[in-house]
Amino acid sequence: MSRIQESVIIRTIVRIMVPFIELFALYVIMHGASGPGGGFQGGVIFGAAIILYTMIYGIAEGKKKMSDSLDRILASTGLTIYAATGLICIVCGGMFLQYRAVPLLPDPAEVSKYLIDLVEIGIGITVLAVMISLFFDVSPPESEPEEAEE
Amino acid sequence: MKTLALFVVVITGAMLIYAGHDLPAFGDINSPSYQAPMTQYFINNSLEESGVTNIVTALLASYRGYDTLGETAVIFTAGMAVMLLLRRRER
């Protein structure tokens, strides 16, 4: 437990900032279709928010937010969303990932827009889960005393 | 050894800066990448075909969506590999 982790200022600022960083990450993911952004960038920002929280509050607190099993489930869920979107297009009579073939709305371009958003969400979920799991995997083992919490 | 590394970095950087002068100017309408037929096709048709106003996203998720699926799979596989190799068994 280093001195920087005991600083009240840093702990308070991180606790206030993390929800805003997560909100910004969701904005970047959802904004990918109409401006700069997308699943990869938004996922990395979301992962960075959790990593920042873990750096200041310790690995044990971070794993309460994002446990190992949740990590694994999310990482595979994102990829499954992406692949399932492609397969839905095949089921509806198009080619793999041919979004226009899905008859959800009268305008095929509109369907394509929403399915691209869905695909971006899938990318974001996978990227954020992998980012956090990489951070947990390379972090030092849990030997530090945890009495400074709370 | 450090001098050698610095030498390599400086030489490589100088080469890159020298080569950078030959790049087309930002937004140059005569640059080869802008004049390419595929670029013109994407600028003209990506909005009607994919429904998104961001051409980069239209390319990433629609025109080469299969490639992006592979990229996501690569990230997933890398994460799983690190998890298998480095996860400590301490439960």
Chain centroid offset of residue B18 CA: 22
Cβ distance B86 to A137 less than 8 Å, yes or no, reads: yes
Looking at residue A144, its pLDDT comes to 53
* pLDDT tens by residue, A19-49: 999 999 999 999 888 888 888 999 999 999 9
The minimum CA-CA distance between B3 and chain A, rounded to whole Å, is 31
A120 to chain B: which residues are within 8 Å by CB?
57, 61
Q: In chain A, what residues touch B65 (CB-CB under 8 Å)?
A: 86, 97, 119
Question: Of A139, A116, A129, nearest to A59 (Cα)?
Answer: A139
- Select from B16, B67, B29, B57 the least CA-distant residue to A114: B57
Q: Is A77 exposed, middle or buried (0-12, 13-18, 19+ CB in 10 A)?
A: middle
Q: Write the pLDDT tens digit of every residue in B34-86.
A: 888 888 899 898 888 888 888 888 898 888 889 999 999 999 999 999 988 88
Give how far A135 is from chain B: nearest CA, Å.
Answer: 10
Is ipTM strictly over 0.90? no
The whole-model pTM stands at 0.82
